[in-house]
Structure 1
């Protein structure tokens, strides 16, 4: 990894809402939708690299990887296995046993997808090239701590499953899909043809719902997640000019978050040993609403909840107490973000997110996620609170 030591003091405060909104506009308005592995996601990385270079940060590590470009494969592939298993029931008891195994595997794969774990069958889907961009800003003195700041560059589709009427049932819906796959496995093993056919029909309806959800266009992603990328760019500028005394900071712009957290898994695959013991802080949709930390994530099923580690919670809470004007507190949120990959793999991690009064991030996976719906003051609050959190740790 490369050190960054060109510490030219910025002439303008890079953490103002106006400065951060300019970065978000360049991504969400000038570039627009940025699907994983598509040319526009690559253009976003080019903008990030060019902006970092203008700050005096010349050494930016690119970490390329292969990825699907939509999460529909993560749900559709298990259903294909399950439906294939149901068809095998016509081949007698060997087919029923094999079909039951496929149905059980399908339920397990759906659970993994809803839990933020690596998908074993990702390579079955058509592949595109995405990448992480990694910057390391070393401490000015003897390092005692390490922090990794995360923000993803890609955007998702406009999804009916995230409408106001349906998003409250996201976890229950995914759990029902898993239940259908598991029930199909059981029905095959016991050889109940009527039940197998009924479950098959229900699964076909489930596949149709997944396909319908995949028909939406990719969104601009101003809040999700140009807002967080903008904050990390502002923080990179600030920290490059004034490094922390005892804390090394990695700033990582991840690719392909929206299709299964592929970027952060790739980061951990290569650098996991170096980052064991680091604090991971994931910024998600911080461009609108009240800044909060996620005290408990539901995941995308009722069987896949996860939580930040106690040390990260204590760090954020100490910062919130020391800076009451930020009004940051912990919330339970229906989310599946990069903290899932970090926590499932045994690392420390916490997510900062902006929440509306209804407890949900604003315009999440909706075509209203446009630059005109960001709040500059929310961007500034997120960036300054993140910096205050780093300073709290650095003072230990």
Structure 2
């Protein structure tokens, strides 16, 4: 008689299954050699490779072309430049115009950072092709759907992502750092200058003017630094998520489920503030009932410790669905996988697009001793720096979630 877990299902193959881990490592290594900035030719090559890999598992993936701007440094930098110009207007006594310009720049910036309508970039900035891959697995005729989404583009680096500062802080304040439940929200700084520009227009104060100029100029220089650097290999962020999709395709072929349709989705242009996922939602959300659908974003699961964060968000925290997180925690426990659950993510992933659209969603990621994904947006994010045991554990946890939802 087959061994069964506490939820009545056969246990998934071991998280350290050598054949599975070899397949995951092969995918990450091969794709990491492709230069994959958002909305680029390399990103398209990666999408086509992923589609072929899913076909090898018996699926019929679709590659869908969308449009994306492909950066975040241009909108953030330009809107801070507008706020800087408003300071010039304020110094010339045109405070009403300065207020209007700074307010519009701030509103557009918050809208962009909060993964909302993106009206500034959609109206004012050029767009290029990006490509998403979607494959139907599980029970294709089921009334309920789980969307598992990863992304195959890679981020640009920048001085702001240098791991030296958090390492120094951890060394100086080890107890405080280790007890922190969130990573410092760096993108708050990009909004501070425009907010102070509004206050400068209202008050006319010299101190507000100086600080507004300091933060707007600093943001513009920081964004320029990111824009001039090449994309990193992006092995952990987020080829490990792509590897999880392939691992799930294999698991669902070997151990089919009934009662749950599973969409395996790899999107482009995530590193330009989830433009690819936003486009995927515009195409597919109308066919996904909110009361019968869930979304899990699998992002950067190649660090030592898996995490199922409480919330995410660049500017403010948005809580994930507690029931879906509970499934993840229980699935991890059933297979002896350590998972960090008392944690808030100060970044934003494709799960936030689904959350804003009203879907029950969560993010599965991983962290290292710095409480962030290993080698985050840094040139050292290479295939040989990925913890493949953790990637295998991520496959097992999501597979466990699938089987719990299918049986519910």
Q: Same fold (TM over 0.5)?
A: yes
Provide the residue aligned with 2:351 in structure 1.
339
3-state SS of the aligned residue for 1:214?
Answer: helix
Structure 2: runs of 5 or more not aligned: 1-16, 170-181
> How far off its partner does 1:344 sit?
2.2
Tell me the TM-score normalised to structure 1 length: 0.86
Q: Which residue of 2 aligns with 1:127?
A: 127
Q: Deviations over 1:256-281 (max 9, x none)?
A: 00001111111211221322231111
- The equivalent of 1:209 in structure 2 is 222
- Identify the range of structure 1 (198-207 vs 241-250) with the bigger mean alpha-carbon deviation: 198-207
The verdict on how the C-alpha distance between 1:63 and 1:166 changes in structure 2, with shifts beyond 3 A counting, is farther
* Offset at residue 293 of structure 1 (A): 0.8
Q: TM-score, normalised by structure 2?
A: 0.84
1:285 paired residue among 282, 290, 300? 300
Pair 1:391-2:403 in alignment: yes
1:194: how far off? 7.4
**Long gaps (5+) in structure 1:** 1-12
CA 1:106–1:55 in structure 2 vs 1: closer, same or farther (change >3 Å)?
same
Query: In the alignment, which residue of structure 2 is the partner of 1:24?
Result: 28
Q: Which residue of 2 aligns with 1:75?
A: 76
Are 1:182 and 2:181 counterparts? no
2:220 is paired with a residue of what secondary structure?
helix
C-alpha spacing 1:332/1:194, structure 2 compared with 1 (3 Å): closer
The DSSP-based 3-state class of the residue aligned with 1:62 is strand
Residues 165, 334 of structure 1: CA spacing in aligned structure 2 closer, same or farther, 3 A cutoff?
A: farther
Structure 1 residue 197 displacement after superposition: 6.2
Query: Corresponding residue for 2:63?
Result: 62
Q: Give the corresponding residue for 1:360.
A: 372
Which of 339, 352, 361 pairs up with 1:328? 339
Please state whether the residue corresponding to 1:36 is helix, strand or coil.
Answer: coil
Greater shift in the superposed pair: 181-190 or 281-290: 181-190
Aligned position for 2:384:
372
- Output one character per residue of 1:350-373: Cα deviation in whole Å (capped at 9) or x when no partner: 111121133211111000000111
| 3-state DSSP of counterpart to 1:217 | coil
Q: Shift of the alpha carbon at 1:52?
A: 2.1
> Structure 2: how far apart are the matches of 1:387 and 1:15?
17
Shift of the 198–353 alpha-carbon distance from structure 1 to 2, 3 Å rule, reads closer
Contact 1:21 1:379 in 2 (8 A): no
- Compute the displacement of 1:99 (Å): 2.2
Give the Å deviation of 1:190: 4.0
In 1, the alpha carbon distance for the partners of 2:130 and 2:249 equals: 22
Q: Which residue of 1 is the match for residue 145 of structure 2?
A: 146
Cα distance between partner residues in 1 of 2:273 and 2:190: 18
SS of the residue corresponding to residue 351 of structure 1 reads strand
Q: Is the 8 A contact 1:15 1:235 kept in 2?
A: no
Residue 198 of structure 1 and its aligned partner are, at CA, apart by 5.8
Residues 131 and 89 (structure 1 numbering): CA distance in 2 closer, same or farther, change over 3 Å? Answer: same
In 2, Cα distance between equivalents of 1:320 and 1:162: 30
RMSD: 2.5
Answer whether contact 1:300 1:334 (CA < 8 A) is retained: yes
Deviation at 1:138, TM superposition (A): 4.8
Aligned residues: 374
Matched-pair contact (CA < 8 Å) for 1:17–1:378? no
Q: Deviations over 1:201-247 (max 9, x none)?
A: 54223312321233322111111111110110121233245431100
